[in-house]
A and B are shown apart, each in its own frame.
Chain A
Amino acid sequence: MRWRPLGFPIALRLERRLEEEGWLKAAVPLGSLALALVLASLIFAAQGLNPLAVYGITFSRIFGTSTGLAFLLLKAIPLLLCAVGLALAFRAQVWNIGAEGQLLLGSVAAAGLALFVMPNAPPYVIIPAMFVAGFLAGAGWALLPAVLKAKLNVNEVITTLMMNYIAYKLVEYLIYGPWRGKATWGFPFTDLIPESAVLPVIPGTDVHYPTLILALASAVAMFVLMEKTGLGYEVKVYGGNPDLARAAGIRPGKLIIICMLLSGGLAGLAGVGELAGVHKRLKYPWAISAGYGFTAIIVAWLARLNPITNVLTALFMGALLAAGSMMRASFNIPYASVNIFNGLILTCLVAGEVLLRYRIRLVAAGAGAEQGGGSA
């Protein structure tokens, strides 16, 4: 029995490619982006918004002004840190979706250290200490899902997501409860962290460069780890074919835990940057994590899980998040609507991969059906 949707007289036939074609590796992500922007504009039009006006104005505000560009860079920093870790985890088919929560824990650790543990420490002590603590806190937040996945094969997508929600609640608890500041005019914020703990910025901008440098360094380090070390090789073998990897003596449990902790730790670093470089106090969790952990999934995927290419895609998605903020201000579109782009880009990307792996041919339906039936 053949099933042809809509009874088209023409059918598609998929033929497996032996090798991925070089030009397609660039064309598929770019084509996906273009298609996603077109689809998103249809959605905006259906909602009574002029997509050309939305795109045009946000584009000129971001790329036409130096403050716009700095804003983009500011958004790209946490995206890059989170995405570099996710690139490793996703290569191993370890689906850490908990970067939001891991980032928040990095912020919590930095705030706790700067406000309560060592409020009088000089910058050269407190700043490195915050990054170390943030990395450990982020990694620690990923530990439970990592161990549950490694030992009991508990679905890490769900556990890391649940840890996100618990992290939101933890931050809420702290800012409404024990950490609530004295000089906050009734807002549920902590006090500002001491001046010595605030990250230095590139003059004339808000770009906190220590985190930027860390992000770029982590991309390079991750590239080396993935391409030049035994661990990176094991990750790729395991991600490509877990059964084969087991037969070759690779211990999946160890790999899962390492990938989870590294990606959690890098997200934690992003959280330190957001706290000590941007907000300078702990406040509403959604204002701090701001969807970076989720958008980083697209940054990683758009770069086809290559840490170096992540730098480019982080800048691109940083522009998109900046656009999201501007759309809220200029067109009264809720910030969460930026997820329309996120979802469409990721859908187009993942659908477009079929083009990399298969050659698609149009055939007359009758002929295609016969061949299809013959090779079952």
Chain B
Amino acid sequence: MSLDVVGHILHMAVRGGTPLLLGAVGEIYAERSGVMNLGLEGIMLVGAITGFAVALATKQPWLGLLAACLAGLALSLIHAFTTVSLYANQVVSGLALAMLGLGLSSLMGRSYVGQPLPYRLLPQAIPGLADLPVIGPALFYQDPVVYLALGLAVASWFVLYRTRWGIMVRAVGDDPAAADAMGVNVYAVRYACVAFGGAMSGLAGAYLSVVYTPAWFEGMTAGRGWIALALVIVAFWDPLKAILGAYLFGATEALQYALQTSLGIAAPLLGMIPYAATILAMLVAMSEALRKRIGAPAALGKPYIREERVL
């Protein structure tokens, strides 16, 4: 493969990894606070159609992305309410949200299928760096959301590990009773983290429909919500590791297109690659976790029940 091809694959990997990164960083906060949100796929879909519709109506791609954040946030509050306030089973509530999002997006999007979106966010060159060979175009000639996602991931890492807020979030996810005793409002922290996760997933969906594709079609996230959930585990709940992981997952997607043109393998077989790679990555990550004794946040998936509490 020539350097050009390598550069192109890297470019595609970063682009393809960006929605995964956005979704995973948000979900890392939710899970760090103890709430697993399996509804990511549905939230992404609603984000995708909301972003597309608003961008088309207002002619402003950024407004589309913002609206998608709000839609994702609103949807995730359903999950926060059932699991945090009503102690509902997180797996089932999350699955319900995934279905609701799929249904809602297909209904909302029924008149948008096949419409082009003439208002784009174009790639921006970072002066100086974009001219570097191979990595220049891959990393420094991307659309603004790619940079935004990177910035958000780094900032999320900083907040999580270097600030009092981050300590609160982690304490709530590891030992909510102790956090509660220290005066942290467990419920408020969990609501906030789930809401942040929802907004990020909404943005991830809108990235697909407004920037990446750009178009709307039913089920267009194609499992990226679930892959983002896998990425959270593979990255061991760390936003910085999620950056690398997201681009690796993105690379499997890019590789699929590269192999299709160069080797002539049937498209459906190559289409399995991202999903098979996700299973493989989870296998490797969990063996590693077992060996190094790293685990999920201790209270992940468990409702915090304070006897006789005020809702």
Interface residues of A (CB under 8 A from B): 1-5, 11-16, 43-44, 47, 95, 97, 144, 148, 152-155, 157-159, 161-163, 165-166, 169-170, 172-173, 176-177, 294, 297, 301, 332-347, 349-351, 353-354, 357-358, 365, 368-369, 371-372, 375-376
Contacts and interface: CB of A to CB of B under 8 A. Distances in A.
A340 B96 CA distance: 9
> Binding site of A, secondary structure by majority: helix, strand, loop or mixed?
helix
B283 A152 contact: yes
A340 B103 contact: yes
| Interface core residue of A340, A349, A354, A371 (most chain B CB under 10 Å) | A340
B72 to A, nearest CB: 15
Contact residues on B (Cβ < 8 Å of other chain), bracket: 35 or more
Contact of B87 (A47, A166, A354): A354
Contact of A350 (B92, B106, B110): B92
A301 B89 CA distance: 12
Nearest to A335: B106
Contacts of A336: 102-103, 106, 218-219
Nearest to A332: B110
Nearest to A11: B310
Given A153-B290, A159-B279, 20 more contacts: A2-B310, A3-B188, A4-B310, A43-B104, A148-B286, A153-B286, A155-B233, A162-B223, A163-B279, A169-B268, A334-B218, A337-B104, A338-B103, A340-B107, A346-B93, A347-B82, A350-B93, A353-B86, A368-B310, A372-B306
A14 B309 contact: yes
B103 A342 contact: yes
19 contacts: A3-B185, A12-B310, A148-B282, A153-B286, A154-B286, A159-B282, A162-B227, A176-B268, A177-B266, A297-B92, A337-B110, A344-B96, A346-B95, A347-B96, A347-B97, A351-B81, A358-B87, A372-B308, A376-B180
Interface stretch (B125-133, B154-162, B163-171, B270-278): B270-278
B38 A157 contact: yes
Contacts of A155: 229-230, 233, 282
A365 B286 contact: no
Contacts, number: 189
Given A334-B107, A346-B95, A12 B311 contact: yes
Given A177-B266, A336-B106, A350-B89, A162 B226 contact: yes
> Binding site of B, secondary structure by majority: helix, strand, loop or mixed?
helix
Given A347-B82, A351-B86, A47 B108 contact: yes
Given A161-B226, A172-B268, A372-B308, A351 B104 contact: no
B279 A144 contact: yes
A4 B98 CA distance: 29
A95 B272 CA distance: 22
A173 B107 contact: no
Contacts of B263: none
B239 interface: no
A56 B180 CA distance: 50
Given A339-B102, A343-B100, A376 B266 contact: no
B187 interface: yes
B263 to A, nearest CB: 15
| Interface core residue of A337, A342, A344 (most chain B CB under 10 Å) | A337
A177 B265 CA distance: 11
Interface string B39-50: 000100000000
B309 A334 contact: no
B151 to A, nearest CB: 27
Contact of A347 (B100, B226, B307): B100
B106 A347 contact: no
A368 B307 CA distance: 12
Contacts of A154: 282-283, 286
B280 to A, nearest CB: 10
B283 A148 contact: yes
A340 B218 CA distance: 14
B114 interface: no
Contacts of A340: 100, 103-104, 107
A351 B92 CA distance: 10
A142 to B, nearest CB: 13
Nearest to A360: B311
A347 B75 CA distance: 12
